[in-house]
């Protein structure tokens, strides 16, 4: 559920600049699915789409103290993700395919179904993350952000074995919490666990 204490974009940015994780969570909850849909529409690849959207949110968090947004946050996020998609196309020599895809008709019925299914799955995932103990969740999110086991160990000042144990625990909890969504993932996204 979105936090009603953030009434304006300026308030969100102020809280974000003060390391308020709730402001970041607010933005993530509000925009992740929309951004995912916009990126997937262009890339047609779940892994690349997730990578691009995660990169955007990681960059947002890393730059939170120096971030200056002269438009709305939504406009900023969609503009930023557009440039990340273009960079991804250039990186994968897909720029020509991207140009052609802009001229093609999108199957809105299938896209809408996938967006709804993704929203439901993402909500369940976010709720499952809340079930994790704080340290376990932190290890899991650091690992998802691309850090190695050794980097997490150094960053959190814990042993690599503890990192491994926390990841195992996190994956077990998440697997159990999301077990009801296995069919949804297969039907909507072709993901098999």
Residue 37, domain CATH:
1.10.1740.10
Q: Is 161 exposed, middle or buried (0-12, 13-18, 19+ CB in 10 A)?
A: exposed
Range of the domain at 96: 1-106
Dist CA 158 CA 24 (whole Å):
26
Give the tokens for residue 75. Answer: 């406009």
Q: Are residues 8 and 93 in the same domain?
A: yes
**With pLDDT > 70 as the criterion, what percentage of the chain qualifies?**
73
- pLDDT: which is higher, 83 or 186: 83
**Is the confidence at residue 104, as pLDDT, over 80?**
no
Q: How many CB atoms lie within 10 A of CB 76?
A: 17
Q: Are residues 134 and 100 in the same domain?
A: no
Lowest average pLDDT, out of 86-90, 128-132, 157-161, goes to: 86-90
**Is the confidence at residue 16, as pLDDT, over 90?**
no
**Is the confidence at residue 108, as pLDDT, over 90?**
no
132 φ/ψ angles, rounded to the nearest 5 degrees: -75, 140
pTM for the model: 0.47
Number of domains in the chain: 2
Q: Are residues 96 and 123 in the same domain?
A: no
| Domain end position, chosen among 106, 136, 157 | 106
Q: Are residues 30 and 20 in the same domain?
A: yes
Q: Are residues 77 and 150 in the same domain?
A: no
- pLDDT: which is higher, 83 or 77: 77
Q: How far is CA 132 from CA 29, 30, 46, 119, 174, in A?
A: 18, 21, 25, 20, 8
Q: Are residues 6 and 68 in the same domain?
A: yes
Please spell the DSSP secondary structure of 105-143, one letter per residue.
Answer: PP-HHHHHHHHHHHHHHHHHHHHHHHHS-HHHHHHHHHH
102 pLDDT band (50/70/90 cuts)?
Answer: very low
Query: Which among 61, 54, 47 has a CA at the least distance from the CA of 15?
Result: 61
Return mean pLDDT, the chain. Answer: 77
Q: How far is CA 92 from CA 37, 98, 100, in A?
A: 20, 11, 15
């Amino acid at each position: 559920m979105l936090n009603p204490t953030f009434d304006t974009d300026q308030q969100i940015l102020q809280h974000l600049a003060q390391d308020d994780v709730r402001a970041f969570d607010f933005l993530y909850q509000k925009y992740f699915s929309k951004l995912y849909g916009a990126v997937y529409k262009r890339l047609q690849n779940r892994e690349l789409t997730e990578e691009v959207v995660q990169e955007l949110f990681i960059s947002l968090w890393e730059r939170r103290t120096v971030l200056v947004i002269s438009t709305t946050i939504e406009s900023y996020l969609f503009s930023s993700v557009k440039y990340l998609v273009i960079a991804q196309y250039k990186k994968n020599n897909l720029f020509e395919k991207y140009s052609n895809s802009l001229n093609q008709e999108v199957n809105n019925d299938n896209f809408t179904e996938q967006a709804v299914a993704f929203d439901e799955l993402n909500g369940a995932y976010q709720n499952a993350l809340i079930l994790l103990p704080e340290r376990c969740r932190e290890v899991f999110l650091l690992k998802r952000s691309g850090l190695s086991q050794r980097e997490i160990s150094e960053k959190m000042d814990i042993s690599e074995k503890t990192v491994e144990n926390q990841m195992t625990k996190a994956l077990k909890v998440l697997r159990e919490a999301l077990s009801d969504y296995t069919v949804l993932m297969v039907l909507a996204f072709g993901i098999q666990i």
